[in-house]
């Protein structure tokens, strides 16, 4: 299953990257993703996972970018390499919005995608940005939420 998800993320990355190049033309992300999935028919068992990532990343791109921008303050969104930006958007979607995959897995997967498809420094850049996102959006939330067995101060 894990390698299925890894391959699924590769297909999602490929589809979103292709879509990003076609942003001026009317294209359908589902059509692009299904065409890319067809190349791996029988290998990727969970095509819904891939279709979900591609559509939800695009549906949430403004929210994702509002999380990405402060996490990479020296890099305006449009100056981040297209492949790195796509990897980061996918990972931020999985980390902050979907929250279905353990954060460590999401970050490791994104770093691996950066190593495989990005430039020389992509994996370090992706790791650094996602580390910041994790600290600011995952760790802080879990620290600020009261424990389930703790009563709020007003109820004591």
- Helix (H) or strand (E) holding 92, with range, is helix 82-92
pLDDT of residue 105: 97
Q: Where does 82-133 have alpha helices with state H?
A: 82-92, 103-117, 122-133
pLDDT of residue 21: 83
Residues carrying CATH 1.10.940.10, the chain: 60-147
What is the reported pTM?
0.87
Tokens representing residue 5 in the block: 């998800």
pLDDT of residue 1: 44
d(CA 88, CA 109): 11
Give the other-Cβ count within 10 Å of 56's Cβ: 17
Residue-wise pLDDT tens for the chain (156 aa)? 445 899 999 999 999 999 988 766 667 899 999 999 999 888 888 899 999 999 999 999 999 999 999 999 999 999 999 999 999 999 999 999 999 999 999 999 999 999 999 999 999 999 999 999 999 998 877 666 554 444 444 443
d(CA 104, CA 88): 14
Contact yes or no for 50/37 (Cβ under 8 A): yes
Q: Closest Cα partner for 37 from 61, 13, 56? A: 13
pLDDT of residue 46: 85
CATH of region 60-147: 1.10.940.10
Three-class secondary structure of residue 10 per DSSP: helix
pLDDT of residue 36: 94
Burial environment of residue 136 by CB neighbours within 10 A (0 to 12, 13 to 18, 19 or more): middle
70: which residues sit within 8 A by CB, 6+ positions away? 136
């Amino acid at each position: 299953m894990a390698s299925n998800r890894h391959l699924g993320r590769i297909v999602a990355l490929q589809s979103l990257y292709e879509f990003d190049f076609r942003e001026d033309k009317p294209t359908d992300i589902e059509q692009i993703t299904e065409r890319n999935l067809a190349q791996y028919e029988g290998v990727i068992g969970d095509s819904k996972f891939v279709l979900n990532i591609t559509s939800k990343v695009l549906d949430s791109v403004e929210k994702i970018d509002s999380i990405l921008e402060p996490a990479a303050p020296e890099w305006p969104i449009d100056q981040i390499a297209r492949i790195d930006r796509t990897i980061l958007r996918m990972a931020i979607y999985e980390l902050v919005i979907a929250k279905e995959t353990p954060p460590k897995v999401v970050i490791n997967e994104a770093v691996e995608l950066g190593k495989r498809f990005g430039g020389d420094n992509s994996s370090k850049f992706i790791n650094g940005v996602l580390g910041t996102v994790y600290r600011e959006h995952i760790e802080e939330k879990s620290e600020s939420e009261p424990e389930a067995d703790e009563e709020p101060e007003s109820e004591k």
